[in-house]
Each structure stands twice: as C-alpha cells, then as structure tokens.
Amino acid sequence: MDTKAPETERNTAVADSPFNGLIGEEYAMLRLICPPAAEMSRQVGDFLKRWQGGIRHSGVPLRVLEIGCGTGITTLALLSARDDQVITAVDIAPAMLAQARQQLAPWLKEGRVRLVESDALSFLAQWGDDSVDVVASGYAFHNFQQSYRREVLAEVFRVLKPGGVFVNGDRYALDDTLQHLQVIQDEVRHFFATFIKLGRLDLLEQWIVHLFSDESPDHVMPLGSALQSYHEAGFSPVSVHERCRNNALVSAEKPCQ
Ligand SMILES: C[S@@+](CC[C@H](N)C(=O)[O-])C[C@H]1O[C@@H](n2cnc3c(N)ncnc32)[C@H](O)[C@@H]1O
C-alpha cells in the first residue's frame, strides 16, 4: 500500500449497500435528519488535533487510515486537524466515494489523502502489523454486523503501531434498552417531520428501512458492550470523550510494549 496510487483504488467487488442508492445520492440530507453525525465527525477531527500519543519520528507524517469515509465529511475534519499526516480512506460504496472525490479534490491532488474502494476488512488485511499511527472513523462502524465488526476491530488492533490509537465517533446505543427505544422513537418522529415537510416520502422510506437495519439485534452497538469488545481486542486505555444521547466519541489505544 506504500506505492503511489491513483486517486481511487478498487480491490473488491462492490457489495450491495444502501449508500449506493438514494441514501448515498442524497447523503447531505443526513445533516437535517441527524445533526449529531456531523458533530461526531467534527469531534473525531478535534481528537486528532489534540492527540499527542504514538511514537513519533521527526519529519515523518502520521499514517492515518479512515474506515467508511463516505462523502468525506470526517476526512475533511481530519485534514483540517493537522498537516503532519497522510490519510488513506476506504469506503465500500462508489456513490459515496464519487462525492468524496469532488469534496476532497485539492487534498487528493496534493497527495494528502488517498481513497480506496473496498470493504473495510479486505482493506485492512493489506496493511502490515504495527504499521499505522491512527485508525479513525465517523458514523460507519454501527453499520457493520457484529461478527464483521469484531473482525474489523481485531484488524485495527493488528495494524496499529504500539502507542497508536483507534478513534471512533459513532452511534453507540444506550445500554438501558428502554431509554434507547425512546431515543430511537424521537429519531423516527424527526425523520417523519423533516421528510414530510420536504415532500420526500421516497427518502423517508429509505431512511426508515435503514434505521431498522441499524437497530437490528445483529447490528446495534451498545456503548457498554462496544467498550468491552475494545478491551477484549487488547486496547488500553479505552476512553469515552463525549456522550450525547445515542452518540459517543471513543478512543482506544494499542498499548506500548
Ligand atoms: C453513515 S456513512 C458515514 C460516512 C462518513 N464517515 C461520514 O462521516 O459522513 C457510513 C459509511 O460506511 C460505509 N460502509 C458501510 N459498510 C462498509 C464496509 N463494510 N466497508 C467499508 N465501508 C463501509 C458506507 O458505504 C458509508 O459510506
């Protein structure tokens, strides 16, 4: 993965993803129906700005991987955070990457970011042990099935250098299932209010269907069990920096040996 690469690389067949359809084409709608998503992206960037960890060699840029970059909202927050980094960002959905290519054009040209079309697990498999300073992600891991998420997490741990960090701003379900249900019911009401006002019942249908997937037992990502899985993967310390309803910013360090 170290060789100079074209702006977008492709290394797997494209999986069926809701982000290749209407949701992906009109992804900017997420700002209206779920303002915390953009806030989580901003916080991932802020975290990287503050981050002093890792073992640094002067003049060598941080090697940062971003998982599920989508249209580049979190990528932009990372790029604005600091200059001493090179980002390789992966996403499975071509419709999202097409928007990222436009949004990130100046940084792609400068070689500060590369985009890879792949699923996260195949992408990570191409990186060596202890080869990456930071793995960052915004609002992507909650889309993964739990078994896949566990495999991705193990790979994130493997590729990180000792002292490196995984930072994720995401939907982390409330551990109290009744409180969580109430938060989701509020989200559903907000989806209806927003899309009915816009006359976009087509998008309402797609986002409600997607919400059912996010909240299904094999996808939902409660904060408590997520933190436990980070510890089980070997990360320490694991820290929750922000918690707002069903959103959280979490960092997990790979211990120095
Ligand atoms: C809700 S979007 C978030 C996009 C972006 N990180 C942001 O902050 O707006 C989730 C993204 O994860 C991507 N994704 C879902 N499953 C994936 C997988 N297995 N491998 C790579 N990307 C995946 C989707 O295509 C989508 O672009």
Residue recorded with tokens 């809701």: 18
| Cα–Cα distance measured from residue 28 to residue 45, given in angstroms and rounded to the nearest whole number | 19
**Residue 198, by phi and psi: left (phi above 0), alpha (psi -120 to 50) or beta?**
alpha
Q: What is the pLDDT of residues 57-80, one digit of tens each?
A: 778 899 999 999 999 999 999 999
Residue 15 pLDDT class (50, 70, 90 cuts) = very low
Interval between CA 234 and ligand 1 midpoint (Å): 24
| Closest atom of ligand 1 relative to the 70 alpha carbon | 27
Q: Is residue 185 part of a domain?
A: no
State the distance from the centre of ligand 1 to the C-alpha of 151, rounded, in angstroms. 16
Nearest CA to ligand 1 atom 18: 119
How many structural domains compose the chain?
1
Assess contact for 116 and 9: CB atoms under 8 A.
yes
- CA distances 228 to 40, 142, 146, 174, 231, Å, are 21, 15, 13, 14, 5
Binding-site residues, ligand 1, Cβ < 6 A? 17, 19, 41, 68-71, 73-74, 90-93, 96, 119-120, 138-140, 143-144
In a domain, 152, yes or no: yes
Ligand 1 atom showing the smallest separation from residue 41 Cα: 8
Task: For 140-172, write each residue's pLDDT tens digit.
Answer: 999 999 999 999 999 999 999 999 999 999 999
- Model pLDDT, residue 142: 96
Question: How many other C-beta atoms are found inside a 10 Å radius of the C-beta of residue 174?
Answer: 19
* Residue 14 pLDDT > 70: no
Question: How do residues 88-140 score in pLDDT, each as one tens digit?
Answer: 999 999 999 999 999 999 999 999 999 999 999 999 999 999 999 999 999 99
Return the DSSP state at 27: G
Longest CA span, the chain: 57
Is residue 183 a part of any domain in this protein?
no
Residue 127 belongs to domain with CATH number? 3.40.50.150
| Residue 95, domain member (yes or no) | yes
CA 24 – ligand 1 centroid, Å: 10
Ligand 1 centre distance from Cα of residue 51 (Å): 24
Position 77 in a domain = yes
Q: Which domain holds residue 46?
A: 8-174+219-253
Count of beta carbons in the 10 Å neighbourhood of residue 157: 18
Report if residue 164 sits inside a domain: yes
Could you tell me if residue 194 is inside a domain? no
Length of the chain: 257
The amino acid that residue 245 corresponds to is R
Q: Is the pLDDT of residue 6 over 90?
A: no
Q: Is residue 102 part of a domain?
A: yes
Residue 118 has, within 13 A of its CA and on its CB side, a CA count of: 21
